[in-house]
Amino acid sequence: MARPRYGYRRLHILLRREGWKVNAKRVWRLYCEEQLTVRVKRRKKRTAESRLPAREAERPNEQWSLDFMHDRLEDGRSFRILNVIDAMTRECLVCEASPSFQSPDVTRILDREIAKRGKPERLRLDNGTEFTSNHFDGWAYEKRIHLHFTQPGRPTQNGHIESFNGRVRDECLQANWFTSLADARDALGAWKREYNNERPHSALGGLAPLEYISKLVEGAA
């Protein structure tokens, strides 16, 4: 199966895209018959206070959300992944692996993305040292980019990137065995392209992020 971590609703959307005239109930029945149901680890419920919503982005490039992930290579060496997404369109801007990241590495990557698409109004991030350093603060001040930090121990205040991290972990990191950092970078790059161009997103009405952006552009024309 090409996408073993996709649920039946997302598979139904992909089948319809390919021209299959099949309803969701039939896909669900076949999904169950083939025992393809994805097991989901249930999280403990949080209190209402910890689930206070952050300010929602209403325009593309209004807010970028950042976070780090960790994984290991076949030989046990660890590496980190910097993820950056647009909070409104859910487009993955950065999904980059490196043995380590320092604050100048992060700003260099952000400068690269800003050169492509312009700068965001604000960044949503946690209190990691890469983001709270004098270097990062000075860079944001110079760029006139607002920094919105989550409260310590409150990852749900940056829920978009937390959800994205879960998809990366489930659909890419756990589905691959990396023999080298180059191998991990190739797999992450391929997954990023699929995520942006093909993967149906429930928050975008079943569209992939770049499909959703195209609809926004068409609507504004």
Domains, the chain, ranges and CATH? 1-38 (no CATH), 65-220 (3.30.420.10)
| pTM for the full predicted model | 0.75
Cβ count within 10 A of residue 122: 18
Sign of CA pseudo-dihedral 166, 171, 175, 176: negative
**33 CB contacts (<8 Å, ≥6 apart)?**
none
Mean residue pLDDT across the chain: 84
Q: Quote the CA–CA distance of 38 and 83 in Å, as a whole number.
A: 24
| pLDDT of 137 strictly over 60 | yes
pLDDT by residue (tens digit) across 9-42?
A: 665 565 566 666 666 666 566 666 665 655 544 4
pLDDT by residue (tens digit) across 115-136?
A: 999 999 999 999 999 999 999 9
Token pair, residue 198, equals 């093909």
Helix (H, G, I), strand (E, B) or coil at 66: strand
Q: CA nearest 66: which of 141, 171, 145?
A: 145
Token pair, residue 157, equals 């205040």
Highest mean pLDDT: which of 100-114, 139-153, 191-205? 100-114
Strands (E), the chain: 63-72, 78-86, 92-98, 122-125, 146-149
pLDDT by residue (tens digit) across 154-199?
A: 777 888 999 999 999 999 999 999 999 999 999 999 999 999 999 8
Report the pLDDT value the prediction gives residue 157, as an integer from 0 to 100.
80
Annotate 88-134 with DSSP letters as a single string: TT--EEEEEEES---HHHHHHHHHHHHHHH---SEEEE---HHHHSH
